[in-house]
């Protein structure tokens, strides 16, 4: 089973405009409203492809009630904790040329008893050998110490921990020695304290993170593909999106695709990487924070690079 923990979920509203112009009055498309939060997106993608997953998350206020209803209607297996704060709402503005602007609310603070209740909720739903994905931003006031304790508590259940967050939360999560982290280029650069100009920089930075006790570092690089640095070496893959629409949530589908294979067969890392690339590319071709189903996923434009040019400059972020 793959279980996701989303500490700061959201309702995501997507609007499409011809061109975003600051200070102007713009006409938009009809809004698209979807469940949001990185862990929620991982479970949505897995569920849509028939892979068992449970999304655990705090929900509060009218937005939380609406989010819970949307997840139920989509057939997403959810364990929700009612909290005193209000679930946040995010706005995505997508332009026809593929440019995306996101306006993300901070969310509401979780009280100590609510954090403990979430940890108890996870403990009551996991079994030994499960994967737990701790993913997304953390709510205001959630400290590095809380992150360390929360992540360490998850690891104590004899499960496989994957972390996909950023900033101080990611640095704190690494101290819990998760099996897997999934940073993007900017996040890996931040935690490594170095600029990542080429693939060799990415590999070196990921290797340094592994030296801190992380087994696998799975780096999503957008148009530059992806890199996995693990105990069996380095795997580099590329993908092409012919008609990109929105990259929001593509990294979550990328991670879901990887775990969909790796969680059942750890011996075939190459297959897991190809699955990740195909799911991520499919998500980028969909509007808003939509996740891909089986009919969307196409392996035609994904491949592994057996002799990559590690000194090739990466594209601009």
Active site residue 252: yes
The sign of the dihedral angle between the CA atoms of 296, 235, 182, 50 is positive
Tell me, letter by letter, the H, E, C secondary structure of 158-178: CCEEEEECCHHHHHHHHCCCC
CB-CB neighbours of 64 under 10 Å: 23
Residue of 148, 85, 153 lying closest to 118 (CA atoms): 153
Q: What is the mean pLDDT of residues 265-280?
A: 96
Q: Write down the pLDDT at residue 317.
A: 53
Q: What is the mean pLDDT of residues 295-304?
A: 91
162: pLDDT strictly greater than 90? yes
Which region holds residue 213: left if phi is over 0, alpha if psi is between -120 and 50, else beta? Answer: left
253: pLDDT strictly greater than 90? yes
95 confidence band (pLDDT: 50, 70, 90): confident
Give me the residue spans of the domains in the chain: 2-304
Assign domain 2-304 to its CATH superfamily: Ribokinase (3.40.1190.20)
257 confidence band (pLDDT: 50, 70, 90): very high
154: pLDDT strictly greater than 70? yes
Which residue out of 130, 164, 252, 296 is catalytically annotated? 252
Tokens coding 153: 């508590």
Q: What is the mean pLDDT of residues 69-79?
A: 93
Q: Write down the pLDDT at residue 276.
A: 96
CA atoms of 251 and 292, how far apart (whole Å): 12
**pLDDT, mean over the chain:** 91
Q: Write down the pLDDT at residue 284.
A: 86
78 confidence band (pLDDT: 50, 70, 90): very high
247 confidence band (pLDDT: 50, 70, 90): confident
316: pLDDT strictly greater than 70? no
pTM equals 0.92
CA atoms of 176 and 131, how far apart (whole Å): 15
Residue of 116, 312, 98 lying closest to 202 (CA atoms): 312
Torsion of CA 39, 82, 54, 72, to 10 degrees: -100
245: pLDDT strictly greater than 80? no
Q: Write down the pLDDT at residue 181.
A: 97
Lowest mean pLDDT among 44-48, 55-59, 283-287: 283-287
Residue of 175, 133, 159, 87 lying closest to 259 (CA atoms): 133
Q: Write down the pLDDT at residue 315.
A: 80
148 confidence band (pLDDT: 50, 70, 90): confident
244: pLDDT strictly greater than 80? no
Could you say which DSSP state residue 89 is in? E
Lowest mean pLDDT among 103-112, 144-153, 208-217: 144-153
Question: Which long-range contacts link 279-283 to residues 24+ away (Cβ below 8 Å)?
Answer: 279/45, 279/253, 279/254, 280/220, 280/226, 280/239, 280/250, 280/251, 280/253, 280/254, 281/239, 281/240, 281/241, 281/250, 282/253, 283/45, 283/247, 283/249, 283/250, 283/252, 283/253, 283/254
311: pLDDT strictly greater than 80? yes
260: pLDDT strictly greater than 90? yes
CB-CB neighbours of 131 under 10 Å: 19
């Amino acid at each position: 089973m793959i279980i996701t923990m989303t500490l700061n979920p959201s309702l995501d509203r997507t609007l499409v405009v011809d061109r975003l112009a600051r200070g102007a009055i713009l006409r938009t498309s009809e809004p698209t409203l979807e469940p949001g939060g990185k862990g929620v997106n991982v479970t949505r993608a897995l569920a849509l492809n028939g892979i068992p997953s449970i999304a655990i998350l705090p929900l509060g206020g009218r937005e939380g009630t609406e989010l819970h209803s949307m997840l139920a209607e989509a057939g997403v297996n959810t364990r929700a904790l009612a909290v005193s704060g209000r679930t946040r709402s995010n706005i995505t503005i997508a332009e026809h040329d593929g440019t995306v602007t996101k306006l993300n609310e901070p969310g509401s603070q979780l009280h100590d008893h609510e954090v403990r209740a979430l940890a108890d909720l996870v403990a009551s739903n996991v079994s030994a050998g499960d994967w737990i994905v701790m993913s997304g931003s953390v709510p205001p006031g959630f400290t590095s110490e809380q992150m360390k304790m929360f992540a360490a508590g998850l690891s104590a259940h004899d499960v496989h921990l994957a972390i996909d967050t950023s900033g101080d939360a990611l640095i704190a999560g690494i101290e819990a020695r998760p099996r897997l982290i999934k940073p993007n280029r900017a996040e890996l650069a931040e935690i490594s304290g170095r600029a990542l100009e080429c693939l060799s920089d990415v590999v070196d930075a990921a290797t340094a993170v592994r030296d801190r006790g992380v087994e696998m570092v799975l780096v999503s690089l957008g148009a530059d593909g992806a890199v996995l640095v693990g105990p069996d070496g380095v795997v580099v893959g590329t993908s092409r999106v012919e008609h990109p629409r929105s990259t929001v949530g593509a990294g979550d589908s990328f991670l879901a695709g990887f775990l969909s294979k790796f969680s059942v067969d750890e011996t075939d890392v190459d297959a897991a990487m190809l699955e990740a690339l195909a799911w991520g590319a499919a998500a980028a071709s969909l509007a808003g924070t939509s996740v891909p189903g089986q009919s969307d996923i196409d392996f035609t434009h994904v491949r592994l690079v057996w002799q990559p040019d590690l000194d090739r400059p990466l594209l601009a972020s």
